[in-house]
Structure 1
């Protein structure tokens, strides 16, 4: 029996699941539950929230991207049907336990999450092995490090060391920022060239080799320093260097009027949020009156929110046989709402738009949920309908 279109490749199933989780969970936590988790005890609710955003919404989005992109890059058969359902089944228990903040069930939830991430690693590793290629090995290595960060967080919670858990969660966030940087390196070339020439007949944009991996390298150094030397001021200077590298990378978006197209602008905002986030983390450590939460939310809500929504829109259209030149209104609305959610969340923490405080948490959660909800409303029919991938859909 032939699988329905939504089970034909990873992103068709996993992107809607990630969007549904991203829309519903934070909305219920913040707007209805006021950050209170009914079964959280030893683990702070803030850490549960961070964990579920990173290893829930973002991890499933990553699974959709890698599960479709790596087979495309290696010219191998993409996972489909029952395999995708098994992966989704491994991901779901952790989300149900995380929604309630059930400390007592954290270890079983962690086992499901680790199995999910290891199964995803095996899936993309098998595709690389089949072609005897190491060209995309960096994605597999960082995915395995992401898996190790999940194990470290669960162990720290189990041992009652919430300080270590906090550092491991920040490390997981940094790992995801590196994965965003690696993905943008590939996606930008396709997206910027199509923005400049929608026919695809020419490729006027060429990336600067020096910019492609500098931001990821600096984030890696910052993450290592923060894990092993958390009291050192070196962390601050490395954070500033990472921020500067992301801002230097903004030069990739200097392509004239085409830079104002939604798909290009959203990737640029993700990069800018990342740069501002690391600068804020460095400034906090050097004594400026900026809370650590400001930098972390610039990264988690701003940078990764924009990056994930950009991938949802770009890959969601191209992998269903649709052109970026004819975006549905939901793509523009979802992009704008995601940028707005990031700004609402962080601006009051810099004493800008202070009128929003203390309501900016709930307002940002509502706008964030609307962004994913609008994307779902517009793109779920595409995911469920037959369609032919465009050539080079994921770069």
Structure 2
């Protein structure tokens, strides 16, 4: 009997094995500490509002790790190239973790070192994808290179604001980074939604019954890009409001494509459609708030970023976590429970501020933070045995 490989060798075999658990741990712990333990204050923050660190760590901490895991796993599969293994992945882990040292307690003194580390991995991702695209002589990855480059530039803008103590600059960079992540979400959902839906409709993979209209594929990311460009150009709040509403409608159009018969009730389809639904409704409400609706824009943003983006990330964790460890659909019960907990967390965070529900008892947003942490911990508990087990020789991808 051959010896079982070391855990580091198993985790270093593929990006998702290493970064998805890290992303889940960070997503579970950071908001809970911020809300419940620290009471919306961070012990190391002084120059800038603690809320900016909170937004930064959600975007570049939790979602950043998820993005690294996704890119280092999906790009080799999409391009039919060798995946990154071992040392390159652990270097990326080190850079990502170094960036979290400052954000964990909002330590202004560590902002320089943390910022450099974050910028290194942020710019490494588009360079990696561009290098793969160049070697394969393909333009199919050009959109991904563009979005990743935009994320790196917005991350640099936010970090410059942190380093200079300019709260407005940091806030602008974080807002633009959030839009870029929503654009990436739209791009990823368009890319993975078709094969997942076809697999649900025909598990034998002999046919491809689901073929959405090709003109809709880039509608949502294109409109999010227009909103981002308008924000950068300084267009009026009314103009960006209507553009944001249009982007939200494009996400809802993606939801309509999820109606594929009774299989639309499958957890895999519901999670992907639900991600578009929450992102789209959130963007619609952001636009409404800018046009004078009686609720804060931050509540609507939480619906898009916690609900839409969070559910999309968790859906990718659940689906790719099966396929890349040699396990078939359907999703395990724990994944469905995690989806429900995350949706409840997003609603508990956003609906009271939108005036749709009374505030729950207890400290502000403590219920939302607890449900959010539970969602990622439930997924991690169920999937850790899969991810920490050596890859089967005949296991495919997604």
TM-score band (shorter)? Answer: over 0.9
* 1:1-395 superposed matches below 5 A: 4-229=9-234, 231-325=236-330, 327-356=331-360, 359=363, 361-388=365-392, 393-394=397-398
Query: What is the CA-CA distance between 1:230 and the residue it aligns to?
Result: 5.5
Distance 2:137 2:56 in 1: 35
- Counting matched residue pairs gives 393
Write out per-residue CA displacement over residues 96-142 of structure 1, whole angstroms, 9 at most, x where no aligned residue. 21011011221221100011122233333332222121211211221
Check whether the contact 2:129–2:145 (CA below 8 A) recurs between aligned residues.
yes
Distance 1:51 1:71 in 2: 28
Distance 1:57 1:192 in 2: 27
Query: What is the CA-CA distance between 1:257 and the residue it aligns to?
Result: 1.5
Distance 1:146 1:309 in 2: 20
| Partner secondary structure for residue 202 of structure 1 | coil
Distance 2:203 2:268 in 1: 13
Distance 1:191 1:161 in 2: 44
TM-score by length of structure 1 reads 0.95
Query: What is the CA-CA distance between 1:360 and the residue it aligns to?
Result: 5.4
Distance 1:305 1:255 in 2: 24
Structure 2 gap segments, 5+ residues each: none
244-253 or 51-60, which moves further after superposition? Answer: 244-253
Structure-2 change in CA distance of 1:250 and 1:170 (3 Å): same
Query: What is the CA-CA distance between 1:388 and the residue it aligns to?
Result: 4.0
| Partner secondary structure for residue 356 of structure 1 | coil
Query: What is the CA-CA distance between 1:200 and the residue it aligns to?
Result: 1.9
Write out per-residue CA displacement over residues 153-192 of structure 1, whole angstroms, 9 at most, x where no aligned residue. 1112223321222121111011011111111111100111
